[in-house]
C-alpha cells in the first residue's frame, strides 16, 4: 500500500488516550518484517525485519498493555505476562514464526527480578536472561516448507481457490496488462540479470520481480544498471505487483478466491466472541501473524477499498490490523454485549518510524464504530467457520474432507480459550503444535538472522504464470484449521 494511506480523509487517527471509553480486548493481524526475497531460498527474516517487528510489539505494548498505556485493555497484566490473557498463532513459516518471537519480545519484555522464584527450601532462582518471558506460540504445520513458497494460493489446499487464482491468467485484464507492460519490463532486464529470462520478464512475474528488486535496493551494496531504477520505474514495478497480487487474492464474482480472508475473519470473530461471552475472562489479546495474501483477501471481503483505494495495494512489511472491542464510557467491570462496539484499525508498515493506527469503516459503511451485534453479523456473512463449509466451498474430497463430505452439520472444536473453529484433522498434513519460546531457541533464532549478501541478483529461476502456475508469493494458510487441539 502507498505510504500516504494514513492521511486519507476516510481514516480517523487514533492516538492519545480517549478518557470516555474503555478497551475490552483486541485481535491483531500482523505481517512479518523485512525478509530476503523469495527467488533466492531459503527465505529469512533480516535483522532489519526483526527490529521492525520488535518495534511493532513495543508500539502495541504502549497502546494496550503498559501501566500507562494510552488505550489500556481492562484487566490486562502490564508487566508479567499471564498466558491465559494472550493467544498467539501463526503458520509453520520460519519468517512468520521469527516475527512472532520479535513481536512478543516487544509486547512483554524481560522483567528482571520480578520473574524470580523462591523454592520451599528458601533458595531463590533468578529469571533467566534478565527475566525473559516465555509465551506460547500456537503453530500449525501443514507439511509444506512455506518460507520458500512464493504464490499466495500455493499451499492453501483449497482446490477451488487455486483454480480461481489460476484463472486470472486467462482473463482479459491479465492478457492486456502483460502485453502493455512487456516493453517496460524488457527495459529493466539488466537489473535482475539471470534471475528472470527475457521470456519471464513480464507481468506474469510482477510480484517476483518487484520482490527481488526491492530487496536488492535495501540490502545489496551494488546493483547492476542502478540508473534504470528511477523513482518512476520503482513506482510502476510496485503498482504492477499490487495489481497482480490483488487479482490473485480476490475476485468479487468468485469469493472462494479469498478463502484466506474468509478463514481469517472466522478466527478474528471467534476470538472476539470468546472475550464478549466470557466477559473478559478469556484471552484479552489475540495475535495472528500471516502473509500479505490474508490482508488482501480480507480487504476485498470487508469492502475496505470503498474506504480507500489504497487497500488494493500490498501492505508493507510490519503492517498491522487491529479489531478493538470497546465501550463508550469508562468502566471498571465488563459491560453487557449491547454496550460493546468494535473498531477496525490499520497501520501500513512498521511503527519503527512512528505513526499511529488509523480507523477505517468496514463493509462499505461510513461509520468507523460498529455495534458488536452489527459487526458480528457482517463478519459471519463471509466467514468460513466449519470444516464442512470449507470443504464444500473448496470442492475438496480427500484428506480431512473425506470424513465430512455430505455432513451438513458444523464440525467444531473448542480451544483452551473457548474459541469455536474448524477442526483441521488430528493426523495427516495438518498438525497443530505448541511452540514455547525458550531462551535458547530465541538466541539461535536471532543468530540465524544474518542478512543474505548478493553480489548480483541471481538465483533460482521461477516458473512463469503463463507456462506453469501463477507466480508465487508468501503463502497464507487457508486450510480448515484448529490452532490448538
- What CATH number is associated with residue 400? 3.40.50.1240
Nearest-angstrom CA–CA distance, 371 and 326: 10
SS3 249: helix
Nearest-angstrom CA–CA distance, 116 and 125: 6
> Is residue 88 included in any domain, yes or no?
yes
Hey, which residues does 12 pair with through a beta bridge?
Answer: 359
What pLDDT is stored for residue 141 in this prediction? 54
Which domain does 222 fall in, by range?
163-250
| Whether residues 246 and 260 fall in one domain | no
| Whether residues 81 and 114 fall in one domain | yes
| Whether residues 139 and 193 fall in one domain | no
CA dihedral angle for residue 446, residue 447, residue 451, residue 454, rounded to 10 degrees: -160
Nearest-angstrom CA–CA distance, 145 and 175: 31
| Whether residues 283 and 322 fall in one domain | yes
What stretches of 224-348 show up as alpha helix (H) in DSSP?
231-249, 259-277, 292-301
What pLDDT is stored for residue 401 in this prediction? 84
Q: How far are the Cα atoms of 143, 401, 404, 409, 421 from residue 386, in angstroms, in the given order? A: 21, 11, 10, 9, 7
| Whether residues 26 and 108 fall in one domain | yes
Domain count of the fold of the chain: 2
Hey, which residues does 435 pair with through a beta bridge?
Answer: 137
> Is residue 274 included in any domain, yes or no?
yes
Nearest-angstrom CA–CA distance, 288 and 269: 13
Strands 22-30 and 285-289 turn out to be parallel
Residues 355 and 345 sit within 8 Å (Cβ to Cβ)? no
229 DSSP 8-state letter: -
| Whether residues 282 and 419 fall in one domain | yes
Cβ atoms within 10 Å of 462's Cβ, excluding its own: 22
> Is residue 197 included in any domain, yes or no?
yes
* Full-model pTM: 0.81
| Whether residues 172 and 81 fall in one domain | no
Nearest-angstrom CA–CA distance, 369 and 361: 7
Domain termination residue (choose one: 250, 266, 295): 250
| Whether residues 170 and 308 fall in one domain | no
Using omega within 30 degrees of 0 as the cis cutoff, is the peptide bond preceding 42 cis? yes
Nearest-angstrom CA–CA distance, 62 and 70: 7
> Is residue 336 included in any domain, yes or no?
yes
| Whether residues 205 and 119 fall in one domain | no
Nearest-angstrom CA–CA distance, 54 and 106: 5
Residues 1 and 315 sit within 8 Å (Cβ to Cβ)? yes
Domain termination residue (choose one: 222, 250, 278): 250
Q: Report, as ranges of residue numbers, the positions in the chain whose pLDDT lies below 50.
A: 3-12, 14-17, 142-155, 407-485
Domain termination residue (choose one: 403, 425, 441): 441
Give the position of cell 463478519: 379
| Whether residues 352 and 430 fall in one domain | yes
| Whether residues 86 and 17 fall in one domain | yes
> Is residue 448 included in any domain, yes or no?
no
| Whether residues 297 and 240 fall in one domain | no
* Backbone dihedral region for residue 75 (phi beyond 0: left; psi -120 to 50: alpha; all else: beta): left
> Is residue 474 included in any domain, yes or no?
no
The count of C-alpha atoms lying within 13 angstroms of the C-alpha of 179, restricted to the half-sphere facing its C-beta, is: 6
> Is residue 342 included in any domain, yes or no?
yes
> Is residue 470 included in any domain, yes or no?
no
Amino acid at each position: 500500500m502507498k505510504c500516504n494511506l494514513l492521511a486519507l480523509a476516510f481514516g480517523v487517527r487514533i492516538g492519545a488516550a480517549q478518557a470516555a471509553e474503555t478497551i475490552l480486548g483486541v485481535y491483531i493481524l500482523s505481517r512479518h518484517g523485512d525478509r530476503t526475497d523469495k527467488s533466492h531460498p531459503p527465505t529469512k527474516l533480516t535483522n532489519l525485519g526483526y527490529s521492525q517487528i520488535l518495534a511493532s510489539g513495543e508500539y502495541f505494548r504502549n497502546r494496550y498493555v503498559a501501566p500507562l498505556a494510552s488505550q489500556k485493555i481492562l484487566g490486562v497484566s502490564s508487566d508479567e505476562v499471564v498466558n491465559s490473557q494472550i493467544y498467539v498463532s501463526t503458520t509453520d513459516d520460519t519468517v512468520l514464526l521469527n516475527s512472532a518471537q520479535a513481536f512478543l519480545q516487544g509486547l512483554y519484555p524481560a522483567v528482571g527480578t520480578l520473574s524470580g522464584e523462591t523454592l520451599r527450601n528458601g533458595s531463590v532462582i533468578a529469571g533467566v536472561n534478565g527475566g525473559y518471558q516465555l509465551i506460547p506460540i500456537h503453530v500449525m504445520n501443514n507439511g509444506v516448507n512455506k518460507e520458500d513458497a512464493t504464490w499466495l494460493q500455493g499451499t492453501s489446499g483449497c482446490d477451488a481457490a487455486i483454480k480461481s487464482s489460476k484463472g486470472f491468467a486467462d482473463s482479459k485484464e491479465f492478457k492486456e496488462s502483460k502485453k502493455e507492460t512487456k516493453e517496460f519490463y524488457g527495459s529493466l532486464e539488466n537489473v535482475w540479470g539471470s534471475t528472470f529470462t527475457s521470456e519471464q520478464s513480464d507481468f506474469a512475474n510482477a510480484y517476483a520481480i518487484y520482490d527481488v528488486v526491492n530487496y536488492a535496493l535495501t540490502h545489496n551494496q551494488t546493483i547492476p544498471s542502478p540508473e534504470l531504477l528511477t523513482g518512476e520505474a520503482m513506482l510502476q514495478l510496485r503498482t504492477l505487483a499490487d495489481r497482480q497480487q490483488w487479482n490473485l487474492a480476490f475476485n468479487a464474482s468468485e469469493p472462494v478466491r479469498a478463502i484466506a480472508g474468509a478463514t481469517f475473519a472466522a478466527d478474528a470473530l471467534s476470538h472476539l466472541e470468546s472475550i464478549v461471552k466470557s466477559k473478559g475472562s478469556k484471552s484479552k489479546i489475540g495475535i495472528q501473524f500471516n502473509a500479505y495474501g490474508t490482508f488482501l483477501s480480507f480487504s476485498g471481503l470487508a469492502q475496505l477499498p470503498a474506504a480507500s483505494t489504497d487497500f488494493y495495494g500490498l501492505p508493507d512489511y510490519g503492517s498491522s490490523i487491529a479489531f478493538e472491542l470497546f465501550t463508550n464510557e469508562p468502566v471498571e467491570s465488563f459491560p453487557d454485549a449491547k454496550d460493546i462496539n468494535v473498531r477496525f484499525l490499520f497501520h501500513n508498515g512498521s511503527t519503527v518510524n512512528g505513526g499511529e493506527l488509523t480507523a477505517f469503516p468496514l463493509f462499505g459503511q461510513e461509520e468507523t464504530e460498529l455495534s458488536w451485534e452489527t459487526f458480528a453479523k457482517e463478519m459471519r456473512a463471509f466467514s468460513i467457520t466449519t470444516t464442512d463449509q470449507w470443504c464444500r466451498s473448496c470442492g475438496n474430497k480427500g484428506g480431512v474432507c473425506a470424513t465430512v463430505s455430505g455432513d451438513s452439520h458444523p464440525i467444531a472444536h473448542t480451544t483452551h480459550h473457548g474459541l469455536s473453529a474448524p477442526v483441521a484433522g488430528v493426523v495427516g498434513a495438518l498438525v497443530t503444535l505448541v511452540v514455547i519460546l525458550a531462551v535458547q531457541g530465541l538466541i539461535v533464532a536471532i543468530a540465524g538472522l544474518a542478512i543474505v549478501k548478493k553480489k548480483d541478483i541471481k538465483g533460482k529461476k521461477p516458473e512463469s504464470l503463463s507456462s506453469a502456475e501463477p507466480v508465487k508469493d508468501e503463502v497464507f494458510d487457508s486450510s480448515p484449521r484448529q490452532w490448538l487441539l
